[in-house]
Amino acid sequence: MKNVSFIIPNYNAEKTVSKTIKSIQEQRYKGKIEIIVIDDKSTDNSINIISKYKKVKLIKNEKNLGLASSLNKAIKTSKYELICIIWCDCVLENEKWLDEMVKAYNSNKKCFVGSKLIIPKKYWNKFSFYDKVILTKDYETSLDKKQKEGRPTLFDKKSLFEIGLYDNKTFRIAGEDTDIVQKLQKKGYKWITTSVNILHLHGFYKLSLKKQLLNKALPLAEATGVNFRRYGIKSLSNKHWNPLTSTILYLSLLIIYINIASFIIIAALALFYTIKVFKYSKDIKIIFVPFFKIAKDIITIIGFWKGFITKKQEF
């Protein structure tokens, strides 16, 4: 039975990190497990919460290094052959989760394993309105039993060192997972997704609209631009509506004769998005969703091309 090092990158996760740790400790796995939490200079009470777990190794960054650098630092201190990376706002679905992940890993001599990321209804109902607006697509995907790919989660430590670990010179807080998947696949590693899930609690943080757009959407768009420059269209998760198609559509507003058609399409897409949100969240603030959708599109376009040109996710 292979031994596993769990790595939890933490930043201001006082509302969820204890749930993450407990879900790992509850695993009924016969191999050895270590839990490493690397804190990236949190300013909330999460350090005190993590410190209460005596069997958890806590690494405290002296300054904020970013996600990719924190992951690399933790991987280098890990002692077991398999690395399992779990975000601080995620919970393992059940006590047999790790058994299923390792079983999938053992089915192929050269692979890394993903776990589907879902938002259960009981958590969804606790999210704020704008968290639901942002996460509607993720929630809808959670309800889709045909979902194929999950978040890359379980790795052979040797494979991570083989590709030079996470690219912390290019990525700070987003995009590093897409990059590492592409690098592993180029080296011949197969991406396997299991039937067990990770429960996503992101909405517990009730982020403001400003933070949703500038602290989440913008850096993610920058990272998407970097990865598109590196790997092309295959790096984009949505092959139909993505920063490329939205750029063309919004630029068309400046072109005479077709600008009216572009305006109608943009308005129709905003309305369609609003209807989809309303399906899962009945709130009077729904009237603001079309404007939010357009604002997010514009921020995504700016961030995408900034990342593409600068070749760096630097927000």
Q: Taken in order 289, 294, 295, 297, is the CA torsion positive or negative?
A: positive
pLDDT of residue 148: 61
Tell me if 9 sits within 8 A of 173, measured CB to CB.
no
Both 127 and 148 in one domain: the answer is yes
With a CB cutoff of 8 Å and minimum separation 6, the contacts of 153 are: 84, 85, 86, 101, 113, 114, 115, 198
Tally the domains of the chain: 2
Both 191 and 98 in one domain: the answer is yes
* Domain end marker among 176, 206, 236: 206
Residue 315 falls inside a structural domain: no
Q: Two tokens at 58?
A: 């806590």
Residue 73 falls inside a structural domain: yes
Structural domain span for residue 124: 4-206
What mean pLDDT comes out for the span 232-253? 86
What is the Cα–Cα distance from 98 to 24, expressed in whole angstroms? 9
| Prediction pTM value | 0.89
Both 162 and 47 in one domain: the answer is yes
* Domain end marker among 206, 226, 245: 206
Both 139 and 268 in one domain: the answer is no
Both 157 and 273 in one domain: the answer is no
* Domain end marker among 174, 206, 238: 206
Both 50 and 98 in one domain: the answer is yes
Q: For the segment 190-242, what is each residue's pLDDT rounded down to a tens digit?
A: 999 998 999 988 766 677 777 878 888 899 999 999 999 999 988 887 766 78
How confident is residue 143, by pLDDT bands cut at 50, 70 and 90? confident
pLDDT of residue 125: 84
Both 196 and 54 in one domain: the answer is yes
